[in-house]
Amino acid sequence: MVNPAEIGVIGGSGFYSLFDEAEQVELSTPYGPPSDVITVGRIGSRTVAFIPRHGRDHRFPPHGIPYRANLWALRSLGVRQVLAPSAVGSLRAEHGPGVIVIPDQLVDRTTGRKQTFYDVSAAVHVPFADPYCPLGRSAAVATAKASGLDPVDGGTLVVIEGPRFSTRAESRWFSGNGWTIVGMTGHPEAILARELALCYTSISLITDHDAGVESGEGVTQDEVLSVFAANITRMRSLVSDTVQALPTDRTCPCARTLDGIKLPFDLP
């Protein structure tokens, strides 16, 4: 019997070595299987479940990730707090590759993704004005500062459909709106976590300046992967340290999201 995991990490394959000892768990959900088998282990005194967002062989493009299955599977294991490291592009000239951003706002520019669990039987409306857990954000920012990483505390992540990168015009529009970073996977993860009353914290590593920020040929996949690989060790350390800094008691609004709401089905 697998021990319940209190914290979930959704990230890339470079995060497997978070654990010294771990076990593999296969789960089914009402929304199909998650991206891959889930790895459950310990980081210090905390039990953690890790899902490779794109699958361990990177078979799921951003618009094809089984987001609902991933979040449902984590909750079914006992997870109530989620850390979501990811690679993003910068929309600000002053934030270059290697900078870590802990966003506090999100703009959804996706088009065809399922982004609710409550699309049958009954309408369930959850608050989403502040999409990220305030306690999770505080823990991530404090941990990054203590590690000497000088994170950007706050900012807006705009999530695009992908898998293509932005045009220069799109990128300039995003930047002109005052948004900070652009990515492809931060939504619907954030809203699905909220609909399950989970805490969700984004930890974003800038891998490039987006197409409209600097002149040149624009963003390439090789550039993104190269910068992320060069920073994976410190990102892994930041996630590991943040896991241990997360509160053991959830006093944030995320935990009370579903209070007083009649759900059309039972949650795991």
Active site residues: 208, 210
Distance CA 263, CA 78 (A): 19
Closest CA to 25 of 58, 71, 74: 74
Give the whole-angstrom CA distance, residue 268 versus residue 69: 12
What are the structure tokens assigned to 55, written together?
């699958």
Residue 163 and residue 63 in contact, taking contact as beta carbons nearer than 8 Å: yes
CA of residue 141 relative to chain centroid, distance: 15
Q: Are 96 and 213 in contact (CB under 8 A)?
A: no
